[in-house]
Amino acid sequence: MNQLTQAQLKSIAVDCCGRLLAAREGIELFNEPFRHVVIDNFFPDDFAKACLDAFPGIDAPVWEQANDPDIEVKFRTAWKSEFDIPDGILPAVRILNSAPFVLAMSQVMGIKKIIPDPYFTGGGLNVTMRGGLLDVHVDGNYHDATGLNRRLNALVYLNPNWQEEWGGEFGVYDAEGEVCLKKVAPLYNRLVIFDSHDKSFHGLPDPVNFPEDEPRRSIILYYYTVEARPASQIVVDEPHSALWKKRNLLDKRGSKTRNFT
């Protein structure tokens, strides 16, 4: 795919926003057990393929590995700014962090004054190899660099040959993280956005069965507000990291809260 002009990229962004704003209650947009939206064929075909083609191989030096066998076995990038993003993936990130898209997401998800994260703390590219997993958990709530409150996660899956026996579905759990109420397949070019709070339990706790040469791939970005989460979404008042079911709702250090700056 040739380099896009600003006008071309804006046109694609407008189309993506339209797809998001057209999400229908009970079909693409859901309120239970927490608000989430699932949009298929999100990017134009050639645009999505450019992202897949630019996705780094697992041998690239960009990956950090999480290897806690009971709760998290995966790879992710450690972007510090947009200058770390591969050229073929940067246009997608620009759209997902653009003002039109953030405003559309705000409208659909019912959260005002959302902003993206220019530091990409925890965000970027994710890879789960065969045997990898992500225990049921709720995400961290606080952004050290800005002091903002985590509110939304957005994912775009890039798995063109996915088959059901591969597993790796995004599991949506009840407010206690006990029962999986829904599984969302990690289909190619599928966008998922969901509320991030202390009761939005999610994960893929069963080891994935993807082929050795075709890992589970996704782009993941996070969004924040100055305003705190509603009281109904708060279990832990203080800043905390991800809290894991298999760790009795403690973080990787065995704590409920964490130090922050």
pLDDT digits (tens, 9 = 90+) for 139-164: 999 999 999 999 999 999 999 999 99
Residues of the chain with pLDDT under 50: none
Joined together, the tokens standing for residue 101 give 């898209």
* Spatial separation of the C-alpha atoms in residues 96 and 105, rounded to whole Å: 9
Q: What is the pLDDT of residue 84?
A: 97
* Spatial separation of the C-alpha atoms in residues 136 and 16, rounded to whole Å: 30
**What values do phi and psi take at 54, rounded to 5?**
-90, -5
* Spatial separation of the C-alpha atoms in residues 46 and 98, rounded to whole Å: 20
Q: What is the pLDDT of residue 1?
A: 65
Average pLDDT score, the chain: 97
Q: 193-226 burial by CB neighbour count: b if 16+ within 10 A, else e?
A: bbbbbbbbbbbbbebbebeeeebbbbbbbbbbbe
Structural contact between residues 112 and 229, judged by C-beta atoms closer than 8 angstroms: no
Query: What amino acid is encoded at 10 in this protein?
Result: K
* Spatial separation of the C-alpha atoms in residues 55 and 188, rounded to whole Å: 13
Block residue for tokens 């950090």: 64
Q: Indicate the class that CATH gives domain 6-247.
A: mainly beta
Cα distances from 17 to residues 21, 41, 95, 165, in angstroms, run 6, 13, 9, 32
Query: What amino acid is encoded at 77 in this protein?
Result: T
Joined together, the tokens standing for residue 37 give 């939206």
Strand partners, 222: 153
Q: What is the pLDDT of residue 260?
A: 83
Block residue for tokens 């298929």: 40
Domain ranges, ordered by start, for the chain: 6-247
Q: What is the pLDDT of residue 248?
A: 97
Cα distances from 197 to residues 142, 179, 239, in angstroms, run 11, 17, 12
